[in-house]
Structure 1
Amino acid sequence: MMLLLRERRRRIRRTFRRRRSFWIRPWLATDRKLQFGHYDQLMNELRIEDEPSFFIFLRMPPVMFYELLNRVGLRIKKTDTLFRRALSTGLKLAITALRHLATGDKYSTLQYDLRVARNSISKFLPEVCRAIVDEYKDEVISCPTDPIDWRAIADEFP
């Protein structure tokens, strides 16, 4: 009796389940991203034709962007699957480090600018931040080890 009730519930759920209208929204498709997205079009144009505007857009010069990309690229790279191609490491870095962290843009704004779905951004953004921290922590972030160093830091605060 219990099995019959369970099976009936499953059938009812299947009939009322909303069908997906898209696997991916057409305006987020890879071909349109390559054709109209800021990363694939605007950034290449700015890098080649107008470096000061590239700096304004990403808050760093092209040389620094590509150096950062070389250092964290392998940490954030994903493999392609049979279903879809992975997002490029440069696109992930541009979204995370340079647009989101530098300007505070929300995921929804980034979605429309760079043609990457909000849910995808929310997945890879923490991974990219972690990769940047892991790569630069020994060079940039130093923690005081003795009381004299701690006192010097404390003296900087009123």
Structure 2
Amino acid sequence: MLINELEMQKKEIKKKKRKIWTRNWIRKRQALGASSNFLTEVAGEDKATFKNHLRTTAEQFEQLLESVKPEIQKVDTSMRAALPARLKLQITLRYLASGCCFRTLECLYRVPKSSISKFLPAVLEAIYESLEMYIQVPKTNAEWNIIARGFDERWNFPGCCGAIDGKHVNIQQPQGSGIDFSNYKGFFGTVLMALVDSDYSFIFIDVRS
């Protein structure tokens, strides 16, 4: 009898409809979120602050948005409106620029951290595919000589074809990875190696080799 009663209670719990789909303060995103307020304001009044926040100018942001929008904009459903591509890109660039945790981004942009974790990989993939053509390793002696001339003229550093460095990026340990991502710094991470020219532009990037 007790088992039957417990089974009935479980069925009743499953049948209960969820009363609140979105928290009230999340619903005020359009009126009070950073996308509609802070970023809209500084894009026209304080371009330096906009660039510091997203590490890109307003003009560059619009160009990137136009490029990735077809890949990251979802269709509205009868249940709820899809997050705008503009908002997704702003959150992703802020995440890359500052390393903010999802909780901080949630409070700033009024987007649930569960939603951020879902769309972030897709936006990053779209950015990668959109910008892949801009990161090209020089293929000829003439191209390398142009880079060397830049280091010589701008930095008084003759014979230099690039500046290279590595960065340990802190990550959560992937499931089942053992010690593959452990490092001497005492945390789990992956290594980013980058090569740049005299204007700080990437000419080669490698992750985790």
Letter in 2 for 1:46: V
How far apart, CA to CA, are the structure 2 residues paired with 1:143 and 1:122?
36
Gaps of 5+ in 1: 145-152
Aligned match of 1:12: 9
State the 1:139 CA deviation. Answer: 2.8
How far apart, CA to CA, are the structure 2 residues paired with 1:112 and 1:125?
16
How far apart, CA to CA, are the structure 2 residues paired with 1:80 and 1:143?
43
Letter in 2 for 1:104: G
Distance 1:83 1:92, change over 3 A: same
Residues 1:119 and 2:123 are matched in the alignment: no
Residue of 92, 102, 111 corresponding to 1:107: 102
More strand by share: 2
Distance 1:143 1:57, change over 3 A: same
Distance 1:36 1:101, change over 3 A: same
Aligned match of 1:28: 26
Residue of 52, 56, 63 corresponding to 1:56: 52
Aligned match of 1:92: 88
| Structure 1 vs Structure 2 CA RMSD | 2.8
State the 1:51 CA deviation. Answer: 0.9
Structure with the bigger RCO (C-alpha within 8 Å, sep 6+) is 1
Gaps of 5+ in 2: 140-160, 166-209
State the 1:138 CA deviation. Answer: 2.9
Aligned match of 1:73: 69
Secondary structure at the aligned position of 1:23 is classed as coil
Secondary structure at the aligned position of 2:35 is classed as helix
State the 1:143 CA deviation. Answer: 9.8
State the 1:14 CA deviation. Answer: 3.1
Aligned match of 2:43: 47
State the 1:43 CA deviation. Answer: 0.7
Deviation readout 1:41-93 (Å, 9 max, x if unpaired): 11111111111111112111101111110111111010001111111101000
Q: How many residues align?
A: 141
